[in-house]
Amino acid sequence: MTLDTPSGEDSLIARYFKPLATDPGAFGLMDDAAVIKADGHDLVVNTDAIVEGVHYLPDDPPDTIARKALRVNLSDLAAKGAEPAGFVLTLALRQSDESWLSAFGRGLGEDARTFGCPLLGGDTVSTPGPVMISITAWGRVPLGRMVHRFGARPGDRVMVTGTIGDASLGLAVLQGKPAAAALAADPAAREMLVGRYRVPQPRNALAKAVRDFATASMDVSDGLAGDLAKLCAASRVTADVNLPKIPISPAAATLLAVGAADLEAMISGGDDFEILCTVPADRCEAFGTEARRAGVAVAEIGVITAGDGHPRLLNAEGQAIPLKRLSFSHF
């Protein structure tokens, strides 16, 4: 890791990131490494990177890029039932752009405070290619209490937070696809969808309820359909999902109604960063109560069944709908 004297790289860190590193374990980013105080908890570690032009658009505001980079990691911690405890940052930049870095640092610092997840260290490197932000974050769970992808059992209900598909529609809007024209007269809906693409809303408020009620859990980052298939495969079960029960926003419903959105694309598109989890049938009511208390909307969208095929997606008539693709893949 790097610090604050005397090279240019070090002053970058001093200027933009040292103000964020207020945790005692960060040593003001003045040292080569940080300390995570160990205690009677397990530390859950997650790493996720975002790349310019792949996970965000080059002209996205830098503060939203920073928030997204941190929040995709916070979303994983939430789904694992962990309370955020800290993160380290690797920033690969083409050049040092003061106004970009200043806004990036501001967004990152605000989110670090909001989510109680302090910056403990980092590395900046130069690259001739696209900007890349890699974050490793960790969180605490009581010993042995991380919630896994495996653990779902037949009869468990499939639950999902928030709404699905907004982020992929926000990207479509930014790319000038039909959704953009359809929303020309509704700037509030446009802004909401774009906001969902640029700034995920990780469900960290739900972490304790996930720990207390979920048999299996993961965040939805590569599309609901594909991510549910992964959860089922890890749990050696399958599922029946009722498409009409998948929660969608009013803006998405409007776009679906006018043919400017496609449900299949919405459930196989990326960037939702909602929690997908399974809860025993007799505990769903209590889980719902805890979720309401935490201020997070949850919807029951299906049921886990025995078997090893792909989850079935059932329309309003109970007929299984085949999907052309399950999820976003980089390769």
Q: Which of residues 234-273 bind a copy of itself (CB under 8 A)?
A: 234
Which residue lies nearer to a copy of itself by CB, 130 or 280?
Answer: 130
DSSP-assigned letters across all residues of 236-266: T-EEEEEGGGS---HHHHHHHHTTSS-HHHH
> Angle at Cα 160 formed by Cα 154 and Cα 164, nearest 5°?
130
- Residue 38 is a binding residue for a copy of itself (CB under 8 A): yes
Which residue lies nearer to a copy of itself by CB, 152 or 218?
Answer: 218
In angstroms, give the least distance from the CB of 26 to a copy of itself.
10
**Binding residues among 88-107 for a copy of itself as defined by CB under 8 A:** 88-90, 92-93, 95-96
194: Cβ contacts below 8 Å, ≥ 6 apart: 170, 173, 174
- Residue 59 is a binding residue for a copy of itself (CB under 8 A): no
Closest CA to 302 of 262, 243, 252, 223: 243
- Residue 207 is a binding residue for a copy of itself (CB under 8 A): no
The Cα–Cα gap between 327 and 245 comes to 19
Which residue lies nearer to a copy of itself by CB, 188 or 331?
Answer: 331
Near a copy of itself by CB under 8 A: residue from 23, 111, 219, 264: 219
Contacts with a copy of itself by CB under 8 A: the residue count is 83
The Cα–Cα gap between 173 and 208 comes to 35
Near a copy of itself by CB under 8 A: residue from 14, 19, 42, 178: 42
Which residue lies nearer to a copy of itself by CB, 230 or 245?
Answer: 230
- Residue 60 is a binding residue for a copy of itself (CB under 8 A): no
Near a copy of itself by CB under 8 A: residue from 14, 15, 19, 47: 47
Count CB neighbours of 115 within 10 A. 23
- Residue 286 is a binding residue for a copy of itself (CB under 8 A): no
Which residue lies nearer to a copy of itself by CB, 236 or 292?
Answer: 236
DSSP-assigned letters across all residues of 74-117: HHHHHHTTPEEEEEEEEEEESS--HHHHHHHHHHHHHHHHHTT-
